[in-house]
């Protein structure tokens, strides 16, 4: 990533994160049921609708990607991502070459909650089958 560039277009972000452009557009679009953005603050838009992304937007997209595509499995719940982001638990740790760095003292409780959420999701998946 170039440090001198302040804003990136969707094609550049797609290459940086190894995500398809339509996936980023979906995450940054309006939900037709609620007429609200699926996830707030993913991009800056011009009057013409062109999306531009800064470093913090790219970091947020990267965190969403890590949550949704965890361990090679694809989780389809953007609602889960929204809850994690809105509760600020996502900022309590960041990925650094596959390892987590400790950012606050609630590290262990965050992982306990994450384990509980994974168990709930797995139970719901088994009920659907």
pLDDT at 5: 86
Separation of alpha carbons 11 and 33, rounded Å: 28
pLDDT at 12: 95
At residue 52, does pLDDT exceed 70? yes
At residue 71, does pLDDT exceed 80? no
Band of pLDDT at residue 40, cut at 50, 70 and 90: confident
pTM: 0.58
pLDDT at 87: 63
Higher-pLDDT residue of 104, 65: 65
Condensed to tens digits (0 to 9), the pLDDT of residues 85-129 reads: 666 544 444 444 344 444 444 444 555 677 777 877 777 777 776
Q: Tell how many helices (H) and how many strands (E) occur in the chain.
A: 5, 7
**Cβ atoms within 10 Å, residue 45:** 10
Condensed to tens digits (0 to 9), the pLDDT of residues 16-37 reads: 999 999 999 998 988 888 888 8
Tokens of 126: 């088994």
Q: Which one-letter DSSP state was computed for residue 90?
A: G
Cβ–Cβ < 8 Å for 91, 49: no
Range of lowest pLDDT (7-11, 19-23, 55-59, 63-67)? 63-67
């Amino acid at each position: 990533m170039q440090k001198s560039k302040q804003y990136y277009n969707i094609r550049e972000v797609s290459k940086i994160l190894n995500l398809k452009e339509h996936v980023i557009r979906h995450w940054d679009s309006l939900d037709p049921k609620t007429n609200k953005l699926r996830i707030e603050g993913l991009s800056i838009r011009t009057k013409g609708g062109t999306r531009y992304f800064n470093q913090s937007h790219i970091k947020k997209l990267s965190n969403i990607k890590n949550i949704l595509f965890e361990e090679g499995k694809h989780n389809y719940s953007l609602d889960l991502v929204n809850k994690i982001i809105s509760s600020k638990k996502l900022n309590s740790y960041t990925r650094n070459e596959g390892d987590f760095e400790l950012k606050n003292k609630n590290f262990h409780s965050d992982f306990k909650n994450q384990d509980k959420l994974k168990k709930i999701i797995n139970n719901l998946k088994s009920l659907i089958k």
